Amino acid sequence: MKITVVGTGYVGLVSGTCFSELGNEVICVDKIEEKVNMLKGGDIPIYEPGLKELVQKNQAEGRLSFTTDLEDAVKKSEVVIIAVGTPSSESGAANMSYVYTVAEEVGQAIGSDFKVVVNKSTVPIGTAEEVKRIILEKNNTADVSVCSVPEFLREGSAVSDTFNPDRVIIGTECERARKTLIELHKPLTDQILLTDVRSSEMIKYASNAFLATKISFINEIANICDAYGADVVDVAKGMGLDDRIGPKFLQAGLGYGGSCFPKDTKALIHLAEEKAYEPQLLYAVKDINDRQYQRVIHQLNGIFGEDTKGLKVALLGLAFKPNTDDMRDAPSLKIIEEVTELGMEVVAYDPIAIERTQELIGDKINYAKNVTETLQDADVVILVTEWDEFKQLSPAAIKEQVRRPVVIDGRNVFDPNQMKEAGFIYHGVGRQV
Ligand SMILES: NC(=O)c1ccc[n+]([C@@H]2O[C@H](COP(=O)([O-])OP(=O)(O)OC[C@H]3O[C@@H](n4cnc5c(N)ncnc54)[C@H](O)[C@@H]3O)[C@@H](O)[C@H]2O)c1
Ligand SMILES: O=c1ccn([C@@H]2O[C@H](COP(=O)(O)OP(=O)(O)O[C@H]3O[C@H](CO)[C@@H](O)[C@H](O)[C@H]3O)[C@@H](O)[C@H]2O)c(=O)[nH]1
């Protein structure tokens, strides 16, 4: 099959490369020339395990190419996949300008042969209809079916998630498009759910909102565990043993970040409000998340009193989660903002996200080259991202470097008892020492 993928962010690049690996001819389009040139040279603009090798292999085998020329790519393709960003706008609604610009460009390029246009970006309910309207406005002879096939990959495991999806959702109104999209996705899974377009668009928001709800739920339970002397790790384990609950997405921490959960919960809230419905549960999910990182500040105040000025903070981890250098809505940024405001000095280390952080906040903090350098003479260690490298740290190794044995463990990585035995003041999230 001949496919154009518009947008070479995580979703466009990973799904385009995977479709190519399955034997399709894929042209990936991006409007940023620098990105396209980088990709043509076999380099990738994001950190994603296994992706670079796969891009290089498929390029070398001649099935995967990169261009800024959307018109030419669309003309050559039967399927056009839109995978551009839908970031939050001021109101919380998804900013649809990138998707609609692509729709206009596709409309100008589409000609009169039948084409299937697929929204893979996470988009508000009703977007496929709007994209079709825009295309037809540009070319009223276009023979086009606009469908919804949402993406469920996670950053850090995007390649394996794409090759082994739990399910593929195909939302279409047209038999021809349905047949094409089943053929395209069949090699990936038997678990294909066919729906109408609007339900497919909603499945994506509902799935992310549900996962965000699980996280805010366990964070709320952790905060109550703190107050009553229970241990949230055991509580989550005990809950997760019930098949109806399941063990996943019950890790208490500093709240969810990243490019999806924060923006998609806000977008769903906005969609509900637009129809005069007050989504009370989603408000609570968002509020709990907005507050969760502040427990670090309360813990700092609890340990050091109001006198935090000049304290040296060793910050372990910057990325919103391990195995990515994505800093979008990373809790580390909010913590940095507050602790520097309180006059503390921050030295941070992340195995791969330092460059991205520097682009965002420059020299607001100091950056270390490794863990040892980060910990040196620290008054307090704050663990923000659960990289394996940090999980392997022993209390003794930390103690050797720091000035004061104080650890705030925002991801419950360390064993509270070992920390206590080693003489640390230790605070996890909903953990008992
Ligand atoms: N990142 C994820 O893990 C993930 C997972 C599932 C779904 N999604 C959804 O997929 C969509 C894309 O997310 P992302 O993280 O890959 O986005 P991104 O912001 O990382 O990348 C989007 C790319 O699209 C390009 N682009 C924008 N307008 C263009 C145009 N007119 N022509 C050509 N290229 C254009 C940009 O230059 C950029 O390279 C979003 O809606 C997101 O919510 C993301
Ligand atoms: O038990 C958990 C699980 C996750 N998180 C946090 O939740 C956020 C999101 O994590 P994760 O879901 O692993 O990462 P994403 O790459 O953002 O993927 C989510 O968002 C994507 C974009 O829509 C979807 O495609 C994926 O299915 C969905 O998992 C991160 O800050 C994690 O630290 C927790 O705090 N506790």
Q: Where are the domains of the chain?
A: 2-195, 293-427
Instruction: List, for residues 145-200, the tens digit of each pLDDT value.
Output: 999 999 999 999 999 999 999 999 999 999 999 999 999 999 999 999 999 999 99
Which three-class secondary structure state does DSSP give residue 238?
helix
Hey, whose CA ends up nearest to atom 4 of ligand 1? 11
Given a cut of 90, whether residue 59 has pLDDT beyond it is yes
Hey, whose CA ends up nearest to atom 22 of ligand 2? 260
Residues whose beta carbon lies within 6 Å of some atom of ligand 2: 122, 151-155, 208, 211, 215, 249-251, 253, 256-258, 260-261, 320-321
Hey, whose CA ends up nearest to atom 31 of ligand 1? 102
Which three-class secondary structure state does DSSP give residue 117?
strand
Q: How many angstroms separate the alpha carbon of residue 4 from the centre of ligand 1?
A: 14
pLDDT score, position 4: 98
Give the Cα-Cα-Cα angle 207, 211, 213 (nearest 5 degrees): 115
| Whether the Cβ atoms of residue 311 and residue 304 lie closer than 8 Å to each other | yes
Q: Give the full edge-to-edge strand order of the sheet including 406-409.
A: 366-367, 345-349, 312-316, 380-383, 406-409, 425-427
Given a cut of 90, whether residue 306 has pLDDT beyond it is no
Give the ipTM: 0.98
Q: Would you name the residues annotated as active-site residues?
A: 260
- Token pair belonging to 10: 């995580």
The reported pTM is 0.97
- Token pair belonging to 150: 């949402």
Q: Is 92 left (phi over 0), alpha (psi -120 to 50) or beta?
A: left
Q: Which residues contact 136 (CB under 8 A, 6 or more apart)?
A: 107, 142, 144
From the CA of 120, the nearest ligand is 1
Q: Which atom of ligand 2 is nearest to the CA of 152?
A: 25
pLDDT score, position 307: 85
CATH topology of domain 2-195: Rossmann fold (3.40.50)
Instruction: List, for residues 198-243, the tens digit of each pLDDT value.
Output: 999 999 999 999 999 999 999 999 999 999 999 999 999 999 999 9
b (16+ CB within 10 A) / e for 194-227: eeebbebbbbbbebbbebbbbbbbbbbbbbebbe
Instruction: List, for residues 386-428, the tens digit of each pLDDT value.
Output: 999 999 999 999 999 999 999 999 999 999 999 999 999 999 9
Where would I find the H helices in 23-148?
33-40, 51-60, 70-76, 97-109, 127-138
Identical fold between 2-195 and 293-427: yes
pLDDT score, position 267: 98
Hey, whose CA ends up nearest to atom 10 of ligand 1? 121
Tokens 């997760």 sit at which residue?
240
Given a cut of 90, whether residue 79 has pLDDT beyond it is yes
Q: How many angstroms separate the alpha carbon of residue 62 from the centre of ligand 1?
A: 24
Percent of the chain with pLDDT over 70: 100
pLDDT score, position 342: 94
Q: Which atom of ligand 2 is nearest to the CA of 249?
A: 1
pLDDT score, position 61: 97
| Whether the Cβ atoms of residue 349 and residue 316 lie closer than 8 Å to each other | yes
| Whether the Cβ atoms of residue 230 and residue 196 lie closer than 8 Å to each other | no
Mean pLDDT for the stretch of residues 70-81: 98
Using CA atoms, how far apart are residues 424 and 189, in angstroms rounded to an integer?
49
Torsion angles phi and psi, residue 192, rounded to 5: -105, 125
Q: Which atom of ligand 1 is nearest to the CA of 13?
A: 16
Do strands 366-367 and 168-171 pair parallel, antiparallel, or not at all (unpaired)? unpaired
pLDDT score, position 211: 98
Name which CATH class applies to 293-427: alpha beta
Torsion angles phi and psi, residue 386, rounded to 5: -85, 55
Q: How many angstroms separate the alpha carbon of residue 211 from the centre of ligand 2?
A: 8
pLDDT score, position 348: 98
Q: How far is CA 297 from CA 304, 397, 408, 429, in A?
A: 10, 25, 10, 13
Using CA atoms, how far apart are residues 426 and 433, in angstroms rounded to an integer?
8
Of the candidates 58, 59, 77, the residue with the CA atom closest to the CA atom of residue 69? 77
Given a cut of 90, whether residue 284 has pLDDT beyond it is yes
Q: How many angstroms separate the alpha carbon of residue 222 from the centre of ligand 2?
A: 18
End-to-end alpha carbon distance in the chain: 58
Q: Which atom of ligand 1 is nearest to the CA of 122?
A: 41
pLDDT score, position 433: 78
Band (53; pLDDT cuts 50, 70, 90): very high
Given a cut of 90, whether residue 432 has pLDDT beyond it is no
Choose the residue to mutate in 15, 27, 84, 155 for probing ligand 1, maximizing ligand atoms within 8 Å of C-beta: 84
CB atoms within 10 A of CB 314: 27
